[in-house]
Structures are given as structure tokens and as C-alpha cells.
């Protein structure tokens, strides 16, 4: 069977949705799965999400991109603007680790996973980012602000200078449908706020979606 490359959008603590998607996808060892960041905050079970991703890395070729929520958690860990992270849904994250709401409750293995996340991922045909990109710059010259923070609702870029198709998250599509511009596909479909967690096979176009309760969306 041929290798698949599958992107998964912003999970935001929706562990049941992630579990349902992975069960439907049934990852094989040769598959590459690219998670686009924002694994934590807002949704109910960040702890289980990170446990699942750590386990997934042993089952397939997992590439995990760092989102802005993870960036702020890693900064909070070293004392930089912890209240900013808490205000982004960090309290919900801490609740998933126990009642004391302390960063020390988060296991070292979870921090190690986040510290090993990448800024972007690039293949022969696709570019994977959390947030946005400057179409005129090669990926190794992109700013962290652009890759992790710039909303696509504010700045909609042209085709990237490489000609590759970009797969992005970060900007929630409240319709629950992928924003597909051909050269750019946005697969954050707002799972934590009542939408869907989306997985996209970037070569075949197959889509899987599950809501935060873990119910799969029927394919049309």
C-alpha cells in the first residue's frame, strides 16, 4: 500500500475527536501525518491529546508543527507572560492535569514533545504551516510572527513562490468546511467551539471529520 500524507488541523484539547479520527484513518507505519499545531487550550482534555500524539509518533511518521498556543505555554514555563497564556485557554489545559492548576503538573514528556515541534514542514508538493506565510519568501526565511500568529482573515496571501500548495490551520472556519483556494487550504474547522476536527489526505483529497464528542461526520 502506498504512503499517505495526512494533515490534521487545530485540535485544541478535543481528545475524543482526535481519537475518532485516528481510528478512522488507521495510520500505517509508512504514512506521514502532519499535525498543524494548537494541540492545547480551550478544549476539555489537552493531557489526553498530547498522550495520543506521543503514542502516534511510534505508529507512523509524525511531524508536529508548533502553534501559537504551544509557544505561549513554553514561554510561560520559563516565566514569560504566564497570564497571557492562561488567558488563551491555559486554565482549561491545567484542569486536564489535575486540581492544583500548576505548570509543574504537566509531565516532562509533554514539554519534550512540544519542544521538539517544528516551525513548518515542506515536501516536494506541499508546505504545512500553523498560521500563514509570506508568498515571496522561501520557508527558511519566514518570520515566527507570520508562521504562528498571522490570521488568514487579516492577510490572505497569494500563491507561494515555490508553487507548492500550502496547508494551514489557525484561522477557524466556522462553517465547518475547509477553505479551499486551490493553492491554499485551511483546515482549522473550529472543533473546540462546536465545529469539527479535520484530517485531509493532501494527495487523494480524502477528508475525515469528527466533533468534540468523538462523532464522525458522514461523508457527502
Grid coordinates given for 104: 509543574
Confidence of residue 2 (pLDDT cuts 50, 70, 90): confident
- Cα gap 114→125, rounded to integer Å: 26
Strands 165-168 and 126-128: parallel
Give the helix, strand, coil percentages of the chain, each rounded to 5.
30, 20, 50
Q: 107-142: b or e for each residue (b if 16 or more CB lie within 10 Å)?
A: eeebbebbeebebbbbeeebbbbbbbbbeeeebeeb
pLDDT above 70 (res 91): yes
Q: What is the pLDDT of residues 69-84, one digit of tens each?
A: 999 999 999 999 999 9
pTM of model > 0.95: yes
Q: How far is CA 137 from CA 108, 161, 180, 218, in A?
A: 35, 7, 22, 39
Give mean pLDDT, residues 176-185.
97
Residue 99 pLDDT class (50, 70, 90 cuts): confident
Residue 220 has pLDDT above 90, yes or no: no
CATH class of the structural domain 5-210: alpha beta
Residue 57 has pLDDT above 90, yes or no: yes
Q: Do residues 191 and 197 make contact, with C-beta atoms less than 8 angstroms apart?
A: yes
Virtual torsion, Cα 126, 127, 133, 136, nearest 10 deg:
-60
Question: Based on the number of CB atoms within 10 Å of its own CB, is 97 exposed (0-12), middle (13-18) or buried (19 or more)?
Answer: middle
Residue identified by cell 519568501 is 137
Averaged pLDDT for residues 27-53: 98
For the chain, what are the domain ranges?
5-210
- Indicate the helix (H) or strand (E) that contains 127: strand 126-128
Contact 94, 66 (CB under 8 A): no
Instruction: Name every residue whose Cβ is closer than 8 Å to that of residue 149 and which is 6 or more positions away in sequence.
Output: 68, 131, 132
Cell numbers 478512522 correspond to what residue?
24
Amino acid at each position: 500500500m502506498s504512503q499517505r500524507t495526512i494533515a490534521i488541523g487545530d485540535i485544541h484539547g478535543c481528545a475524543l475527536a482526535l481519537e475518532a479520527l485516528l481510528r478512522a484513518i488507521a495510520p500505517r507505519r509508512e504514512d506521514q501525518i502532519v499535525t498543524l499545531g494548537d494541540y492545547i487550550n480551550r478544549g476539555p482534555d489537552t493531557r489526553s491529546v498530547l498522550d495520543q500524539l506521543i503514542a502516534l509518533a511510534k505508529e507512523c511518521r509524525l511531524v508536529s508543527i508548533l502553534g501559537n498556543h504551544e509557544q505561549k505555554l513554553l514561554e510561560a514555563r520559563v516565566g514569560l507572560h504566564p497570564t497571557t497564556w492562561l488567558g488563551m485557554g491555559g486554565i482549561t489545559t491545567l484542569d486536564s492535569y489535575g486540581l492544583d492548576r500548576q505548570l509543574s503538573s504537566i509531565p516532562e514528556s509533554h514539554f519534550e514533545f512540544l519542544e521538539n515541534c517544528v516551525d513548518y514542514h515542506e515536501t516536494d508538493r506541499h508546505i504545512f504551516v500553523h498560521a500563514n506565510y509570506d508568498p515571496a519568501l522561501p520557508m527558511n526565511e519566514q518570520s515566527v510572527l507570520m508562521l504562528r500568529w498571522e490570521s488568514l482573515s487579516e492577510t490572505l496571501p497569494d500563491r507561494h513562490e515555490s508553487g507548492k500548495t500550502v496547508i494551514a490551520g489557525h484561522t477557524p472556519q466556522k462553517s465547518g468546511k475547509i477553505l479551499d483556494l486551490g493553492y491554499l487550504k485551511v483546515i482549522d474547522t473550529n472543533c473546540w467551539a462546536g465545529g469539527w476536527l479535520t484530517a485531509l489526505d493532501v494527495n487523494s483529497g480524502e477528508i475525515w471529520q469528527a466533533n468534540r464528542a468523538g462523532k464522525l461526520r458522514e461523508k457527502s
